[in-house]
Amino acid sequence: MHESCGDMGQEAEVVEKRLEDHFQLAHRWGCVLLLDEADVFLQKRSREDLARNAIVSVFLRVLEYYSGILFLTTNRVGAFDQAFRSRIHMSLFYPRLDEDKTIKIWKMNLARARKTWGDNLSIDETDQKEILEFASSHFRDLNKSKMLDYE
């Protein structure tokens, strides 16, 4: 089950209800829960941002009672609130992919799709070339936009 944290709302009460609902569903279904872009929940609390502090506190409280498997994605590992250190059992780091590695992953997945779907998958060499060109172009565009965010 996947949920983007940015879609959960910005008011502590709303976030709390949505988190409880998602955690209950994940528990009931016995599935792994992925909270994508969890930065907003994990950030250090400060005196200046009481609304964010409330959301972090809500997340800590709801997390305390969740017994399932939860994955959190973030690209701001150094900005964790200290209270999370004891609650995180394993932390994985994935280095940024360069364009060559990205294309290699696309090729691997196309090969896997061919193997899985066989004749039911109609991707010829021209299609594959276009898919890989799209992936490469998308990679470059994404990196350009990320560079603009840092300026």
Cα separation, 3 vs 73, whole angstroms: 11
The closest of 37, 54, 46 to 81, measured between CA atoms, is 46
Question: Of 104, 105, 99, 101, which Cα lies nearest the Cα of 137?
Answer: 99
Q: What's the pTM value of the predicted model, to 2 decimals?
A: 0.63
Helix (H, G, I), strand (E, B) or coil at 119: helix
Q: Which pLDDT score is estimated for 1? A: 62
pLDDT in tens, 114-151: 889 888 888 888 888 999 999 999 899 888 766 555 44
Task: Give the pLDDT confidence of 141-150 residue by residue, as tens digits.
Answer: 888 766 555 4
Which residues have a Cβ under 8 Å from the Cβ of 71 and sit 6 or more positions away?
Answer: 32, 33, 34, 35
Sketch the domain layout of the chain as residue ranges.
Answer: 2-84, 99-150
Tens-digit pLDDT string for the chain (151 aa): 666 777 777 788 998 999 999 999 999 999 999 988 888 888 877 788 788 888 888 888 998 889 899 998 887 777 777 788 778 888 888 888 899 999 999 999 999 988 898 888 888 888 889 999 999 998 998 887 665 554 4
Give the model's pLDDT for residue 32: 92
Query: For the domain bounded by 2-84, which CATH number is listed?
Result: 3.40.50.300
* 36: β partners: 4
Polymer length of the chain = 151
- CA separation (Å) from 64 to 83, 87, 151? 11, 8, 38
